[in-house]
Amino acid sequence: MSLREHLQAIYNERGQLTPALVVDVARDEQHPLHLRFEWNDTAAAEKYRRHQAHNLIRSVRICHASPKGGEPVSIRAFHAIQDPTTRKYVYEPTAVVMQDPMVRRLLLAEMQRDWQALRRRYEELEEFWDLIEGDLRIEA
């Protein structure tokens, strides 16, 4: 069975699909999803703390004057930039990203990948395009 089929089976059996239900079902060492999880509590705790740190870094915002005037704009204080040689992400202050042409290009490439992923995820919904058109009208 595929991953989708396993998840569909959980949904069919339980009437809903949540991360907690998936973990509960996968606790059984014989279940095919069991090996997709980290069951060593020490390792899992460390991964979770890193996830929390990631969320902390992403939550920090800075305010600056809007280029169009008006209300100040709140932006992220740090951006994750992928090192081209190691392929690992590091967080850089927004000011550093904006001042370094290469790092800025890396961020813009990431932005383009994010936009393409968002478009692929929702492009079949007419409301997605209505939302974009509405945003463009507000900006104009």
Handedness of CA 104, 106, 110, 112 (dihedral sign): positive
Please write the tens of the pLDDT for every residue from 3-33. 999 999 999 999 999 999 999 999 999 999 9
The confidence score (pLDDT) of residue 114 equals 92
Count the alpha carbons within 13 Å of 66 in the hemisphere toward its beta carbon. 6
By the 10 Å C-beta count (0-12 exposed, 13-18 middle, 19+ buried), 86 is classed as exposed
The confidence score (pLDDT) of residue 138 equals 67
Please write the tens of the pLDDT for every residue from 112-136. 999 999 999 999 998 999 888 887 7
Considering only CA atoms, which of 36, 32, 29 is closest in space to residue 9? 32
At 35, the amino acid letter reads L
Instruction: Return left, alpha or beta for 69; rule: phi > 0 is left, psi -120 to 50 is alpha, else beta.
Output: left
Q: Which runs of consecutive H residues, i.e. helices, occur in the chain?
A: 3-14, 19-26, 41-59, 94-99, 101-122, 126-139
Please write the tens of the pLDDT for every residue from 63-120. 988 777 778 888 999 999 888 889 898 999 999 999 999 888 888 988 999 999 999 9
Which structure tokens are listed for 38? 């980290």
Assign 125 to helix, strand or coil.
coil
The confidence score (pLDDT) of residue 64 equals 84
Angle at 110 between CA 120 and CA 38, to 5 degrees: 80
Q: Which runs of consecutive H residues, i.e. helices, occur in 27-93?
A: 41-59
The confidence score (pLDDT) of residue 110 equals 86
Under the banding of pLDDT at 50, 70 and 90, the label for residue 140 is low
The domain locations on the chain are: 79-140
Instruction: Return left, alpha or beta for 87; rule: phi > 0 is left, psi -120 to 50 is alpha, else beta.
Output: left
- CA terminus-to-terminus distance, the chain: 50
The confidence score (pLDDT) of residue 139 equals 63
Q: pTM of the entire structure?
A: 0.69
The confidence score (pLDDT) of residue 61 equals 95
